Chain A
Amino acid sequence: MTYPIPTHGALRQASRQSIQELFNRDPEAYTRGDLDDIIHAMRDLRDRLASSTEGKVRQVRVAIPKPTGVGNPDDLGL
């Protein structure tokens, strides 16, 4: 099954399991190493994002709407 992966860069496979493979496995059978791989993948993604945007001004791409009293369904306060 193809799992949506962020378009910002590809995840480095190296000696760790691919995140896709891990996400498609029954988590009840996860080992400690599997959990570490998931956590590592998330941290690696964050670190590469930080280094790729270092020194650059982040563009605000999400428009800030004026408060109209009509809410956004993505923002239900959860």
Chain B
Amino acid sequence: MTLFDRLKQVASENPTGFTVKIPNLEPVTTGWVVAMKETQNSFGDEGLQRVIEVAQRTTQIVGGWKEGDLFYWDASFIVQSEKEAVQIGIENGQIAIFNLDTFEVKYL
């Protein structure tokens, strides 16, 4: 099964949202998660393909969630330092970032 197909399988089992490392698809459960500007508004199969390409050459972190009839995808940064996460979030034009340890949103 290709990485593309495996990610689609993870997505079907986690429609409310998921974030995994590629290529082993291990769930990411710790750290600050910051969405990558480069992959904003990526949806459908074409979007997933683009996100995989971006993630493979950058952070190796892929996530997705279902919104209505569409499945959205993104590549993300995962950092342990709040200061670094804030900086990356600002650089990527994010309104807020999320901490997977405390399950809290931080506005930038």
Physical interaction between A and B:
no
Binding site for A on B (CB under 8 A): none
